[in-house]
Chain A
Amino acid sequence: MAAMTREETEALIQEVLEVYPEKAKKDREKHLAINDQSLEKANKCITSNRKSLPGVMTIRGCAYAGSKGVVWGPIKDMIHISHGPVGCGQYSRAGRRNYYVGTTGINTFGTMNFTSDFTEKDIVFGGDKKLAKLIDEIEVLFPMNKGISIQSECPIGLIGDDIEAVAKVKNKEHGKTIVPVRCEGFRGVSQSLGHHIANDAIRDWVLEKRDGDDSFPTTPYDVAVIGDYNIGGDAWASRTLLEEMGLRVVAQWSGDGTIAEIEKTPKVKLNLIHCYRSMNYIARHMEEKYSIPWIEYNFFGPTKIAESLRRIAEHFDDTIKEGAERVIARYKADYDAVIAKYKPRLEGKRVMLYIGGLRPRHVIGAYEDLGMEVVGTGYEFGHNDDYDRTIKEMGNATLLYDDVTGYEFEEFVKKVQPDLVGSGVKEKYIFQKMGVPFRQMHSWDYSGPYHGYDGFAIFARDMDMTINNPCWKSFKAPWKTEAASEPVKAVA
């Protein structure tokens, strides 16, 4: 199928909207748009970060998911208590594949689930006593933890527990950082507010810990990697490139990160932001308070990696600038080989994406490096500033869909007929059953890393083995294929 024109895209959106009742149609219309590269600002064409329409299937999560699952969860040497009923933590446990080194249960706790397991009694009489007891038990059972965060689930805010008071008392008693986080699931319209609340909690309870303490020896090349959650090892694949060009990575936020790294971050010279959506808040705060500049970068695919390495090097002296060129040159043979191998197999393939808050725009370059084209993209919980950054990355007249509903996404895919859909696990089986090749782009479908030059090779291989998998040809039952449907001649 050739690229769609503006009119065709417009007609498609109208057709999909047709089934909605008048009011719902008016609401959803604002979230569906046709990309127009000439626009500077996305708010001219698309509305985002609004409450999902009741009655439709949304793919969003809650504020607790944004705080516990995304921002705090990967800090490996802290224990994160899912405070409230058992389900929220248990059903999201270890699903995100943020890798870390350490001995789980001894000095790291990433894949474990700690919960106060609220029952009716705790809702009626309050759970503060239980929380205090839980913290004491943690100190006995897991003495090597470096701190505790209390991740509030919905009931905590509803029954008015005072987790801040408990945190303060227990902090005095045990001498460890204990952070109460008010990330109850009902706050905000998606997990996005959870990111913001989590950032604010880091700012208020952790970041100042080493203010005025200069015992940490610094260098002019100190940076922090912010907003890389080490999905399948992403942060490691990024970190090696930065170190090879001569920088010193002081902290990883928060994939494979520790609380000590977070406390040391205000000492760095530059903050490097990968996931802008979930951690721009803390970067802005550090810029204001500690005068640390920050830049966004993109480590998906060789084109964007080279661009980013050079942009990062701009902030340092010539040794780093040379370092960046050296790194790009060193991996050139590798990524050229990857492109030579996979581009012929993937060239011209069309992709539709629907992911969280960063990848809908960040992975576009990696697909383009393989000769593929992204014909539709959208964010679960992006804001205006994310769409601002997306307009220039996407082709003209391509589809943009914000907080897309299950129905809309299916219809779009049926009509646009992409060669690949990249979205989350809830969408995966629907599209696979429809016979559309699918990659799970949140946790890389049990693969990864996809960041960095090493990650690009894996990315290319995964896309190839998904799109060119022979299974898609066997999708139709043999008696339903065209050849078989020819009238069978009567046997003489």
Chain B
Amino acid sequence: MLTLLFFALENPMPSVMLRKREDGKLLFYVAKKDLEETIETIEFDSPEKWGGEVVLGDGSKYYFEPMEPAPKIPLTLQAKRL
């Protein structure tokens, strides 16, 4: 259990479910970590290019490999913890 917990907390490449909230904000959800946060800023956020560094509502930072063109959301992606 301890090792599992450790893994869940420290896994540097969590699989993230992205979805749009009713108010248009992007939600960042990691089931394993039981984390549901809003995305406050995204480095690249245009129809042509999407991704890069994101900052969540709680201040933590993650990185998505930039995608061209922007993907259709909802979507599950690997993110890197920064």
Q: Name A residues whose Cβ lies closer than 8 Å to a Cβ of B.
A: 40-41, 43, 48-49, 51, 189, 196, 281, 284, 287-288, 291, 295, 383-385, 388
What are 6 A-B pairs with beta-carbon distances under 8 A? Answer: A43-B58, A51-B5, A189-B1, A284-B29, A287-B19, A295-B22
- Judge whether B76 and A288 touch: CB under 8 Å: yes
Query: What's the nearest-Cβ distance from chain B to residue A46, in Å?
Result: 12
What residues of chain B lie closer than 8 Å to A288, measured between beta carbons?
17, 19, 74-76
Most chain B CB inside 10 Å of its own CB: which residue of A48, A196, A288: A288
Provided the pairs A284-B74, A288-B17, A288-B74 are in contact, do residues A384 and B34 lie with their beta carbons within 8 angstroms? yes
Within residues 26 to 65 of chain B, which ones have a CB less than 8 A from any CB in chain A?
29, 31, 34-37, 57-58
- Judge whether A49 and B36 touch: CB under 8 Å: no
- Judge whether B34 and A383 touch: CB under 8 Å: yes
What is the CA–CA distance of A208 and B10 in the complex, to the nearest angstrom? 33
- Judge whether B74 and A388 touch: CB under 8 Å: no
Query: What's the nearest-Cβ distance from chain B to residue A380, in Å?
Result: 15
What residues of chain B lie closer than 8 Å to A48, measured between beta carbons?
34
- Judge whether B34 and A49 touch: CB under 8 Å: yes
- Quick one: closest A residue to B73, CB to CB? A288
What residues of chain A lie closer than 8 Å to B57, measured between beta carbons?
40-41
Q: Name B residues whose Cβ lies closer than 8 Å to a Cβ of A.
A: 1, 5, 17, 19, 22, 29, 31, 34-37, 57-58, 74-76
- Judge whether B36 and A284 touch: CB under 8 Å: no
Contact of B17 among A40, A51, A284 (CB under 8 A): A284
Closest 6 CB pairs of A and B: A288-B74, A383-B34, A385-B36, A287-B74, A384-B34, A284-B17
What is the CA–CA distance of A42 and B1 in the complex, to the nearest angstrom? 24
Provided the pairs A41-B57, A41-B58, A51-B1 are in contact, do residues A284 and B19 lie with their beta carbons within 8 angstroms? yes
What residues of chain A lie closer than 8 Å to B34, measured between beta carbons?
48-49, 383-385
Query: What's the nearest-Cβ distance from chain B to residue A47, in Å?
Result: 11
Query: What's the nearest-Cβ distance from chain B to residue A384, in Å?
Result: 5
Provided the pairs A51-B1, A284-B17, A288-B74 are in contact, do residues A384 and B31 lie with their beta carbons within 8 angstroms? no
Beyond the given pairs A49-B34, A384-B34, 11 more chain A to chain B contacts, judged by CB atoms under 8 angstroms and listed by A's residue number, are A41-B37, A41-B57, A41-B58, A43-B58, A189-B1, A196-B31, A281-B31, A284-B19, A284-B29, A287-B19, A288-B76
What residues of chain A lie closer than 8 Å to B31, measured between beta carbons?
196, 281
What residues of chain A lie closer than 8 Å to B58, measured between beta carbons?
41, 43
What residues of chain B lie closer than 8 Å to A287, measured between beta carbons?
19, 74
- Judge whether A388 and B29 touch: CB under 8 Å: no
Contact of B36 among A51, A196, A388 (CB under 8 A): A388
Query: What's the nearest-Cβ distance from chain B to residue A204, in Å?
Result: 15
- Quick one: closest B residue to A48, CB to CB? B34
What residues of chain A lie closer than 8 Å to B17, measured between beta carbons?
284, 288
- Quick one: closest A residue to B75, CB to CB? A288
What residues of chain B lie closer than 8 Å to A281, measured between beta carbons?
31
Query: What's the nearest-Cβ distance from chain B to residue A438, in Å?
Result: 31
What residues of chain B lie closer than 8 Å to A43, measured between beta carbons?
58
